[in-house]
Structure formats: structure tokens, C-alpha cells
Amino acid sequence: MNDFHIARTDHTPEVDFRFSEHCLTLAGEAYPEDAATFFQPVLSVLERYLGSVDDCDIEFNFQLVYFNSASTKMLYRLFGLLHDSACTSNRVVIRWHHDPEDDTVLEFGESVHDDFNALEFVPIATPLAAL
Amino acid sequence: MEEAPSVSPAHTSQDVLEMLSRHPHLAGLPVVENGRPAGLINRNLFMDEMAKPFRRDLFARKSCIAFMDKAPLIVPESLGVQELSFLALEQGGKTLKDGFIVTDDAGVYRGIGTGEALMRAVSHLQAEKNRQVMESINYAGIIQKSFLKASREALSETLRDHFLLWEPRDHVGGDCYLCRPFEDGVFMALMDCTGHGVPGAFMTLIMTAFLDHVLTASLRRDPAQVLSLVNRKVKTALGQQGGRLRQPDSSEQSDDGMDAALLWLERGGKKLVYAGARMPLFLLGAGEAEPVMLEGGRLGVGYVDTPMDCVWANQEVVVEAGMGIYLSTDGLTDQIGGPRQIAFGKKRFTAFLQAHREFPMMIQQARLKEAFQIYQGDQKRRDDVSVLGFRV
């Protein structure tokens, strides 16, 4: 399956899905006017990828610093897809990058961890500038 | 468009030279044959060529078409400014430098247009469109403010020491509030509807109307039940009974709702009932007490993912004298800023409250605004921001 990339804008994150390396990254900020329209293609391509792999180690790098409520809902759907895959056919590690002082992003990570317990959750405290 | 002198292929380069020196403002000289444009001579290119050795001797008496651009942009005068600007851009920088030729609808030469004039027209068009949109949004802002005015006045009448910060990001927004006094207490709500700007403002009207309708005297002490009823109404009205995943072909389906905190404060101020949907309540007791945060339910009101029969919980608070009570939308805590360019965060907010606990609420508001502004720095505002604070 071809790798999938969307460049970052002011309102939308960089999507860097390297399916060939089983390494998926989401970085930047997410507050598009219409979150569903932005995320729908991302979810579709992820779903197709997850349907095409089996017994695989998948790494997901979460590097968002801001996401509005509508994007948060879309992120939940994304983690839902990863969770379903981790329950049935693959191993998924979520590397949760957050600034050491950013309790907002870490708190969201913890709720994702609680809700999708099939995902291995690795919080990584790194200053934003290093990303 | 401006009328401009033109030449025909029968004219020589010498004629062009004379024509250009008679009209020093002309950037380009159109070549017209039998009433139809044949090309455009760029002044600078032409002059450069003629300045080269022997060029004048070789070409002065020959047809001027030797140095003309044979494919300039030619447009009918009926073409709109926007279409014209896209055509000009497709041609690269040439049209902006040399100008373009204007014909009537039958293709007969009429005159030329310059890049500068085109830029001016585009800027005017842009400014006019902007003005129309801003005027419309500003007026929507007036409507939204007057819509909220009754609740703001009710807050002032019921709460002696309070503040309400309401800052929509784009003149209008998705944050709103409601305050309804009853004989034995007061019902308050802070709501953060999906979206900001105009779509957000639409949602506030829907949500406030539903809340207003649901909030009967018999339900005033039961904010959790009010959330459930509003949820049901929103989901029904917006047709959100579907499944979990939005299908690609159902892009018309709404997945909207709100985060909200509802409060019932008994007269006398001893008892407070709180029900929250993704919006916490902050309490700060008098003296040295640490701030306490009550978490609301984790599901929002409305939205496809929230079940039709979703229930939220009431949490009762025994209000001590001097206790500060605060609600905030996530626009405050999620705002990016500070030296690390990260979210403002709940910790910073509660630390602020602790540091300012002795001040009257109005002063706290002013200080919070100031601190928030400094934190935001030169970052853009990400969302609407609302904070309600009061002491009983």
C-alpha cells in the first residue's frame, strides 16, 4: 500500500502514514473548520491499511499540541480503528509525545489509554521544540 | 481597460519607436490588424532590442511585428475581474508586466489593460467582499449579544460577586450561557457548542432554545436530567440517530453538540448542584484550601456517539462561605502560548485562582484577561473563551 502524506497547515496537522514502515505519525495542530471533511480520508486510508496487514508491529506517533473538540472526536475514531486492529490482528504501540509541562495533551493521552486498552501506550515527555 | 494607441503590421519599428516616445506612459503597444489584435509590443523588450548594435539599421524600416509578443492575453471586455485575474496568473508574470488586450465580444480590438489596473480591481473586489462578510458577521454579533443580554442581567441581579468573561474568537461564537432565576434559587449554564464563528453561533441558538424549553420549574433542581432531555432533543432535531461511523456518502449528517456545565444554586447559597458534560467545575474554598475540580460526564450533549438515552450525574456541593465557584470552556485551558508554546492548561488556571483568591470577582476577571493575553502572546486565538466565576 502506498504511503500517505498530508502537509501541515495552520489549522490542520501533518499526516505522515508510512505504511511501508508500519510507522504512522500525526503532528502539529488540528482545528479545521470542518473536522469531518479533513479526517474522513485519513480514517479511510488507515482503515484500508489496517485491513491489509496481519501480525504486524505498528507504531503510531502522536505529536499534536492542539486539537479542538471536533477533531478530538475524529481522533477517538482513529484510535478506535487502531484498537480494533490491536484486538484482532496486530500489535499497536502509541508513542504519545507531549511537552513535560503540557498537562492538557497528557490528560487526553491518559483518557485514550483508558478507553483503548488494547493499545500499548508509551508517554514520551519531549519539549515541543525537539519535534 | 483604457483606450490606447495601436499600430498595424504595416507600421515599421521606426514608427513604433516614435509612438513609444510620444506616449511615455505606455508599457505595451498593441498591434492591430483589420480591427483584430495581432500581438503586443513590450516597451522595455523593444527598447532593449533596438539598443543593440545594428538592430536599428536592420529593423527600423521593417514591420514592427519582429519584436511583438504574438500570444499576449486577449480577453473580451465582458470578462469578470476574478476570471481575468486567474487567466493572467496562468500566463505567468508576463501579463502583469506587459498588460493585456481587450476586445469586444466579437473579438474586435478595444484597448489595453495594465497589470497595475488589474491588481487594483482585484484588491477593490476583495476589500468589498471582505467588507460585506464582516458587516454581516458584526451584525450577527449584535444579535448574539442581545440574545445573551437577558441572562447576563439575570446573573448580575442574582449574584452579588461574580464575573462573566465571554470572548468569541470571531465576533460571534459557539460559547454561550444561560441564567434563569427561580423563587428558591438560580439555574445557570455555560455551554460550548461545536464550531466557532457563524456555525458555532447557529448552534448556540439551537442549544439555548432547547435548554430554555426543557428547563421547567419541576426540573430546576435536577441539572443532570436537563442535560439528558436536551441531548434527546438535539439528537432528534439534528437527525443524529445513526451509527457510530459517519459514512462517506452521508456528509450531510450532523455530528454536532456541546460541552456544558449546568448549575442549580439554592437561595441562601448553601447548596449547589452541578451536572457537567465534558466541562468541569472548579471550587476554591476560603482561606488556604486547595482548589478542587469536579469532573463532569465524559460524553458531550448531542453528537452521533452519545446515546439517545445517555444519563449524566448530579454532584452536590456544600457551599462554604467565601467559596469561589468557576466554570470555563476549553478555549481558556487549551489555548497555545507561553514560552513552551503549549496549552494554558487546568493547572495554570487553578494556580491563577489560588493566587487571586482574595480579590473581588471583577478584579479576578481583569487579572485573568491580562494573564491570558500575556500567555497567548503572539499566538492566534484558537477558540472562543468563556469563564464564569462567582462567590455566594
Chain B: residue whose CA lies nearest to A78: B245
Indicate the domain borders of chain A.
15-32+56-130
Full DSSP string of B123-158: HHHHHHHHHHHHHHHHHHHHHHHHHHHHHHHHHHHH
pLDDT digits (tens, 9 = 90+) for A60-76: 999 999 999 889 989 99
Distance from CA of B333 to the nearest CA of A (A): 8
C-alpha to C-alpha distance for A101 and B337, rounded to whole angstroms: 12
Q: How far is B224 from chain A (nearest CA, A)?
A: 21
Residue B252 confidence (pLDDT): 65
* pLDDT tens-digit map of B127-170: 999 999 999 999 999 999 999 999 999 999 999 999 999 999 99
Cross-strand bridge partners of residue B109: B103
Positions in chain B whose pLDDT score sits under 70 = 242-252
Question: CB-based contact (8 Å) between A65 and chain B?
Answer: yes
* pLDDT tens-digit readout, A81-118: 999 999 999 999 999 999 999 999 999 999 999 999 99
- Of B197, B245, B346, which is closest to A103 when you measure between CB atoms? B346
Query: What distances in angstroms separate CA B187 from CA A1, A70, B184, B211, one per listed residue?
Result: 56, 28, 10, 11
- Please check whether residue B376 touches A, CB under 8 A: no
Q: Distance, in angstroms, between B233 CA and closest chain A CA?
A: 20
A82: closest CA of chain B, how far (Å) = 14
Inform me whether the C-beta atom of residue A30 falls under 8 Å from chain B C-beta atoms: no
Of A37, A66, A69, the CB nearest to B343: A66
What cell does B218 get? Answer: 419541576
Report chain B residues whose CB lies below 8 A from the CB of A39: none
Q: Are B206 and B260 in contact (CB under 8 A)?
A: no
Cβ pairs A/B, distance under 8 A? 71
Mutual angle of helices B345-355 and B361-376, in 10-degree steps: 140
pTM recorded for the entire structure: 0.83
Contacts with A37 from chain B: Cβ below 8 Å: 251
pLDDT of residue B245: 47
Q: Does B298 touch chain A (CB under 8 A)?
A: yes
pLDDT at B44: 86
A33 vs B contacts (CB less than 8 Å)? 195, 197, 199
State the smallest CA–CA distance between residue A27 and chain B in angstroms. 14
**Quick one: pLDDT at residue B58?**
81
User: B163 CA to chain A: closest CA distance, Å?
Assistant: 25
- To the nearest whole Å, the CA of A103 is away from the closest chain B CA by 6
Q: Give the pLDDT confidence score for residue B53 in this predicted structure.
A: 83
Residue A73: which of B197, B303, B380 has the nearest Cβ? B303
Q: What's the complex ipTM?
A: 0.90
As a whole number, the mean pLDDT across chain A is 93
From B195, B255, B334, residue closest to A104, measured CB to CB: B334
Q: Which residues of B374-384 are buried (b: 16+ CB within 10 A; e: fewer)?
A: ebbeeeebbbb
Contact A102 B343 (CB under 8 A): yes
Q: Which of residues 242-261 of B touch A (CB under 8 A)?
A: 244-246, 248, 251, 255, 259
Please list every residue in chain A whose beta carbon sits closer than 8 Å to the beta carbon of residue B203: none
- State whether A76 and B303 contact (CB < 8 Å): no
| Helices marked H in chain B | 13-22, 43-51, 55-59, 81-90, 94-98, 115-158, 197-214, 223-237, 330-333, 345-355, 361-376
Q: Is there a contact between A102 and B346 if contact means CB atoms under 8 Å apart?
A: no
Nearest CB to B345 within list A68, A73, A103: A103
Euclidean distance between CA atoms B97 and B114, whole angstroms:
8
For residues B81 and B100, what is the distance between their CA atoms, to the nearest angstrom? Answer: 13
Residue B116 CA to its chain's centroid (Å)? 30
Q: Report the alpha-carbon distance of residue B325 to residue B319 in Å, rounded.
A: 9
The domains located in chain B, with CATH, are 13-113 (3.10.580.10), 144-244+253-391 (3.60.40.10)
Beta bridge partners of A62: A26, A96
Q: Which residue of B has its CA nearest to A129?
A: B340
Q: How far apart (Å, rounded) are the C-alpha atoms in residues B263 and B281?
A: 9
Question: For chain A, how are helix, strand and coil distributed in percent, rounded to 5?
Answer: 45, 30, 25
Compute the distance between CA of residue B260 and CA of residue B224 in angstroms, rounded to an integer.
11
User: Where does residue B210 fall: left (phi above 0), alpha (psi -120 to 50 degrees), or beta otherwise?
Assistant: alpha
Q: Which of the residues A69, A102, A108, A126 would you substitute to probe the B interface, choosing the one with the greatest number of B C-beta atoms within 10 Å?
A: A69
For the segment B339-362, what is each residue's pLDDT rounded down to a tens digit? 999 999 999 999 999 999 999 999
What pLDDT does residue B165 have?
98
CB atoms A76 and B305 under 8 Å: yes
